A = this chain, B = another copy of it.
């Protein structure tokens, strides 16, 4: 009986340690995916980073967005977004425009140059991104998406907002 309890506790501890392993795996894989794409970007002299690209791409489907909208869309926080936008403004790919109704807001939009870049690079980048997902089935993608979303929701900082919905 004692031994059995002891064993059970051991299993629980091992289980807990395993969760740390999952976090490690997740982090490692995300970094590798990013790094792989970034290396390809550099080799092909796209002169742009993954994160800068995600901003351009988001703008391409929407014409104009405020910092806040862009941050939400691309999953970045506002300070990070401000800096990335600064960089791609220097590269003359986007421009800031005042918001007509709210002087606090700034609208970001692609320049002609920026639009051209998105159009040109889109297919190549889609190709690069695909590499990560070889040897996986439709079923895998479904599960993967569900699991990632579950994790995300488990840690949802704004959960209380959800509760207000009902």
Q: Which residues of A contact B (CB under 8 A)?
A: 13, 16-20, 22-37, 54, 57, 75, 123, 125-127, 129-136, 140-141, 143-145, 147-152, 154-155, 157
Contacts and interface: CB of A to CB of B under 8 A. Distances in A.
A22 B131 contact: no
By Cβ-Cβ distance, the 10 closest A-B pairs, closest first, are A30-B30, A16-B126, A36-B155, A29-B148, A28-B75, A19-B129, A25-B148, A134-B154, A26-B30, A20-B129
A123 B125 CA distance: 43
A150 B144 CA distance: 12
Given A132-B151, A154-B134, A144 B30 contact: no
Contacts of A135: 150, 154
A132 B75 CA distance: 18
Contacts of A133: 19, 22, 151, 154
Nearest to A125: B20
A130 B19 contact: yes
Nearest to A27: B30
Q: How many copies does the complex hold?
A: 2
Contact of A75 (B27, B123, B140): B27
Nearest to A36: B155
A147 B33 CA distance: 13
Contacts of A129: 16, 19-20, 23
A33 B153 CA distance: 10
A27 B20 contact: no
